[in-house]
Amino acid sequence: MQKVEWVIFDKDGTIIDLDSIWIPWAKNFYLNLTENSDFEVAFSLQYFLTTIGVTADGTTIDPTSPLAVGSIQEAETIMAYLLYQQGIAWSEGVMLARAASSLATAQQESITVQELPGIRQLLIRLKEHGIRLGVVTADSTARAELHVKQLGLWPLFEFVLGSDQVPSSKPFPDLAHLARERYQVLLEQTVMIGDSNADMLFAKNAGMLYSIGIIPKNVYPKDYLPDAMKIIEVYDESLITLLIAKEDQHG
């Protein structure tokens, strides 16, 4: 008989449309490198995009890919490795990747973020029922805060925490432990909602009440969240009913 006191959301792919942010970022990451280097990059933009997780048609992101699940630091490591493969020293490749990544991140300020359908109404309804809300993301805290503010959702959340706040990001429980220490989050009465299995394992590793995975209707296959205790395709009234119920209904 557990009541849900907190709901923690992942950001990209859960609150915000993943493709609208990270495909432009990935393109700028590559272009910044090629335009600001005194050597010719041996791999094409298309090759880099598919390597990091953009689908072949260039319009969507593989939800199991580094671009969808990993941190910016991990994307920089991939870029540095590609540069290393073409003969550039690892230390130089890391610096070049970091510089190109930082510029791409700065360029994101001009990108219009798009919220997922139904998320605003869900957040408002949960707040009306006294459930406290937070965001935990592999993105940086500053950028996550910026995106939430751009959408006008900032007042609905108690906190926004990014991977730069802890030694290890999801699926490790460090961010959950930080939320518990800093904001008195009762993890055993918390539900995690996310779009990657790292989110599901994060909830499990942190001892949360249960996890909910969101997989959009048009995404196939739907077997990449094996550790989710519940799968949804949209934010609708049935989810609100589940979360505000006093009994633990996830079984």
Residue 175 to residue 157: CA distance in whole angstroms: 16
Condensed to tens digits (0 to 9), the pLDDT of residues 142-174 reads 989 999 999 999 999 999 999 999 999 999 999
- Show which of 110, 131, 159 is a domain's final residue: 110
Asked if residue 251 belongs to a domain, the reply is no
Q: Are 222 and 37 in contact (CB under 8 A)?
A: no
What 8-state DSSP symbol labels residue 42?
S
Query: Do residues 229 and 240 share a domain?
Result: yes
Query: Do residues 121 and 82 share a domain?
Result: no
Residue 58 to residue 43: CA distance in whole angstroms: 16
Structural domain containing residue 169: 6-17+114-244
Predicted local confidence at residue 185, as pLDDT: 98
**Phi and psi at residue 117, to the nearest 5°:** -55, 135
Which residues lie below 8 Å from residue 121, measured CB to CB, with a gap of 6+? Answer: 235
Task: Check whether 206 has a pLDDT greater than 50.
Answer: yes
Condensed to tens digits (0 to 9), the pLDDT of residues 180-191 reads 999 999 999 999
More confident residue, 3 or 217: 3
Query: Do residues 68 and 131 share a domain?
Result: no
Asked if residue 249 belongs to a domain, the reply is no
Per-chain mean pLDDT for the chain = 92
- pLDDT band, very low/low/confident/very high, at 220 (cuts 50, 70, 90): low
Residue 192 to residue 114: CA distance in whole angstroms: 21
Q: What pTM did the predictor assign?
A: 0.81
Query: Do residues 233 and 118 share a domain?
Result: yes
> What is the 3-class SS of 192-236, one letter each residue?
EEECCHHHHHHHHHCCCCEEEEECCCCCCCCCCCCCCCEEECCCC
Rounding to the nearest 10 degrees, give the CA dihedral for residues 79, 197, 153, 189: -140
Task: Check whether 251 has a pLDDT greater than 50.
Answer: no
